[in-house]
Amino acid sequence: MSKVRLSICFLVLIFVFTKDTYAQDVHFSQRLVGDRQINPSFTNRFDGNFQVVTAYRQQWQSIGVPFTTGNLFFTKKFTTAIPVLEWFAGIAYANDQSGDAKLMMNQFQLNAGASYQYLQHKFTFAVQNAWAAKSFNQNGLSFPSQYDRNTGGFNENLSSREAFAGENTSYYDLNIGATWETELGHDWNLTTGISLNHVLEPKESFFDQSNQKNRGVGGQFLAEKPLNEKLSIHPYLSYYWARGASEMLVGSAVSMPVAGFKKINEVNPFLYLRTGINRTTDAFVIGSRASFGKFDFGLSYDVNISDLELASNYQGGFELSLVFTARNPQLKNIRIPCERY
């Protein structure tokens, strides 16, 4: 079977089985972005006054119309009269466009939570209120019932026999998340996160039938250990499960200060494997982050290693991210005025 035929079959299968399977959530390969998308408590993991995170992802360009995803996070911290207690709140926006059907999702999120510091432990809890709107376009699509034997081709004037209730749908979504950060000895910094997604299991369907988003559970584990003055490792494990779908990302990053470059402070190359339990291992994720001043830039690429490589030729998706963190103001030197002057 030729690459073109494989590509067509892949795209047809995605659309034909949409009404019998469950929609995939927006996801990113870069840890800094992906954790914030799954677990709202991770939006507070930065040192500063406020933070802006933006990312763009494109995949499957080699087998047809590419799937593109973009998002934007803004998070602000608020101090309280209690030094160990901190509040935070923010907004987020995500846009996802998929394939020939022009399936589009626009999602707006409001995040709010609090962090409590107890000795070397830090506990964070957050709630995310989300509003999602989805749409698609039937123009240009062909269905099996539209095959015209008289012409040997597809006729768009024939009935598709699909009971679409409409080309638009929207719903409210609720997600919650928590993290625990601690120190283990003098060498390890550990962070564990857990999230419950689609708590209310909202209805999501373009058909005149009930179809709910399944409740999902996510977990993250990341650590940091300095090996010497110039090198630290950051092992990472993330797992997400919902009925009918699961994903695990496992690997590590390395942080290295850069000497000799005035603008770049540190680089963080990373390598992850996207796999799961009882599912196909489908990609290697390779990339790096670079920090310069208040900015942090990330670039990664997914190398497809699943059976789909017959059509994609090992091509996957590339991802870009940019982070701006406003540092807390530093106290200036205090001068005590001399009474003699």
State the 10-residue block means of pLDDT for the chain, 341 residues long: 39 38 68 94 95 92 78 95 95 88 89 95 97 82 69 69 71 97 90 96 79 91 92 95 88 87 86 84 91 94 76 74 85 51 42
Q: Would you state the pLDDT for residue 185?
A: 80
DSSP 336: P
Residues written for the chain: 341
pLDDT at 309: 56
Q: Are strands 153-154 and 295-304 parallel, antiparallel or unpaired?
A: unpaired
The pLDDT score that the predictor gives to residue 18 is 37
Per-residue pLDDT at 330: 55
For the chain, first and last CA: distance in Å?
91
Look up the pTM and report it.
0.80
Q: What are phi and psi of 141, to 5 degrees?
A: -95, 150
Q: Are 34 and 250 in contact (CB under 8 A)?
A: no
- Burial class (CB within 10 angstroms; exposed 0-12, middle 13-18, buried 19+) of 257: middle
**Residue keyed to tokens 């290697």:** 284
What are the structural domains of the chain? 3-129+175-326 (2.40.160.40)
The C-alpha atoms of residue 299 and residue 317 are separated, in whole angstroms, by 11
Neighbours of 337 (CB within 10 A): 6
Res 180: pLDDT:
97
CB-CB contact of 41 with 75 (8 Å) = no
| Cα distances (Å, whole numbers) of residue 330 to 18, 296, 307, 311, 334 | 53, 20, 54, 54, 12
pLDDT at site 21:
37
User: Both tokens of residue 202?
Assistant: 């909202």
Note the pLDDT of residue 20: 37
Closest of 121, 90, 93, 122 to residue 108, by C-alpha: 93
- Is-contact 14 8, C-beta < 8 A? no
Say how far apart CA 33 and CA 43 lie, in whole Å: 9
